[in-house]
Amino acid sequence: MRKFALVLLLGVTLCRAAGSTVKIRGYITSVPDSHSIAILDDIIATHAAHLDLQNCGQSSLSPGLLVEAEGVWTARHQFTAEKVSCDANQFSREITENAYLQEEPLAAEKRAEARPNRLKADGELLLLTDTTQLNWHPAEQLVGYQVHYRGVRQPDGSIMTSSVELGSSAPADAYKNPGGVRVVPTTDPKTGIKILEFQKESKIQGRMKLFPVEEVQEYVRKLGLGLLPHGADATKRPVEFRFFVVEDPSINAFALPDGTILINTGLVGAVENEAQLAFVLSHEISHVLQAHHWREVHDTRPKRVLITIAAVAASYYIRDLGLFLGQLGLEAVVNGYSRRIENQADRLGLQNVIDHGYDPWPAAGFFRTMLDHYRQRSTSAIWSSHDSALLRGSFLTVQLLRQYPEGHFDKAAVNSPAFAAMRDAMGPVKIE
Ligand SMILES: [Zn+2]
């Protein structure tokens, strides 16, 4: 049996090497002509493809449709499909979601209304009708409370709800790091280097080098704090947001449950503009405000036994931050959460950059940067997985196309002189 599996595996590997059929999945972002469709920058030739669309009641391929294309890559960004099928349930599937409100969902004058007809929550526009089951208490302040909703996505991207319910806020424990880990910025007495110390019950678990240029730290800290949703501190969440740039060449960022956000030098070096960095920071801020780590451990997955290793780093300084955080019981923070949770952080992150005056198009373009950078390599890291970047990037693009008219963001910010000055101060950094 084992031998059979091995042969089969080898077969698959050889087929891949010969450039045979692969599947790609994503939302159609445009239809350049009658023989092709585009998912972000990937152009899929459909002239030779069998189209299987009747399941979603469509006769032709159109922007916004979630499709799976089977075929071969013929060149960079060029794909020839043999078959294109669409996800039959995309317009009928009931969406059930929970989200902590990061912003007031209603304009001030509407707050007292017993029955609102639309709510902005969870990075979505929720539509309410007379038949929507509503359990809602008009209150002074709703930020921090959880909203549970069910509904079906409409062709314009909004969600027609069948029920909307206001829940409670998260308990204080939801914002605690596992094992009581604390992250303390300090100076290494041995070397005089600025570091982050990971402490657990006054024992040092590991040391991470901070990027030494203070101007870069200051810029990222200011950008991050400026991006906190306006209502982020309105509730009594025991969260203190802190932003640190750490020396690690991989394009990644991590949010710890207590609000500590670690941004790798590889990521700061790879983003193309301030809007992209703002999007990544907003995504990480949402992981904290949505108490994703706590929710993942408590409601979404069967209870796991967290194995806490006495993770004193093997070398004096931590080289691989991801591996180290995984050892501290933060593997979800490192490897990404379920697709559903990542999508929530993406939606809220995008909404947050829009609310803070940024152009969301270059922000969503971060996924294109990732796709270009990692195209030739397979990686499971959350920001750099090809399949996930294509699906996430195309979903956000489609949502923007549906919800905002062309030109809506023409005057919104993409960059700032401070971003350029920060990059000058940073100089070239290694990106992996
Ligand atoms: Zn994430």
Domain boundaries of the chain, sorted by first residue: 2-86, 94-169, 173-426
Measured in Å, residue 35 CA sits from the centre of ligand 1 at: 35
At residue 231, does pLDDT exceed 80? no
104-142 pLDDT per residue, tens: 887 655 666 667 788 889 999 999 999 999 888 766 778
Q: How confident is the model at residue 67 (pLDDT cuts 50, 70, 90)?
A: very high
CB 62 within 8 A of CB 31: yes
Measured in Å, residue 334 CA sits from the centre of ligand 1 at: 9
Q: Class of 2-86 per CATH?
A: mainly beta
Say what the alpha-carbon torsion angle 282, 208, 416, 408 is, to the nearest 10 degrees. Answer: -20
At residue 77, does pLDDT exceed 60? yes
Q: How many CA atoms lie within 13 A of 3 on its CB side?
A: 0
Whether 94-169 and 2-86 are alike in CATH topology: the answer is yes
E strands present in 226-344: 242-246, 253-255, 260-264
Q: How confident is the model at residue 7 (pLDDT cuts 50, 70, 90)?
A: very low
Measured in Å, residue 41 CA sits from the centre of ligand 1 at: 23
Measured in Å, residue 378 CA sits from the centre of ligand 1 at: 18
Interval 406-426 mean pLDDT: 94
Q: How far is Cα 322 from Cα 268, in angstroms, rounded to an integer?
A: 17
Q: How far is Cα 141 from Cα 57, in angstroms, rounded to an integer?
A: 43
Ion ligand 1: residues, CB < 5 A: 342, 345
At residue 234, does pLDDT exceed 90? no
pLDDT of residue 237: 77
CB 237 within 8 A of CB 101: no
Measured in Å, residue 168 CA sits from the centre of ligand 1 at: 24
Measured in Å, residue 407 CA sits from the centre of ligand 1 at: 29
Measured in Å, residue 223 CA sits from the centre of ligand 1 at: 18
At residue 286, does pLDDT exceed 90? yes
At residue 246, does pLDDT exceed 80? yes
Measured in Å, residue 260 CA sits from the centre of ligand 1 at: 14
Measured in Å, residue 284 CA sits from the centre of ligand 1 at: 6
pLDDT of residue 219: 98
Measured in Å, residue 5 CA sits from the centre of ligand 1 at: 34
46-62 pLDDT per residue, tens: 999 999 888 777 778 88
CB 70 within 8 A of CB 80: no
Measured in Å, residue 382 CA sits from the centre of ligand 1 at: 7
Mean pLDDT lowest for which of 157-166, 252-261, 311-320?
311-320
Q: How confident is the model at residue 299 (pLDDT cuts 50, 70, 90)?
A: low
What's the CATH code, domain 94-169? 2.40.50.320
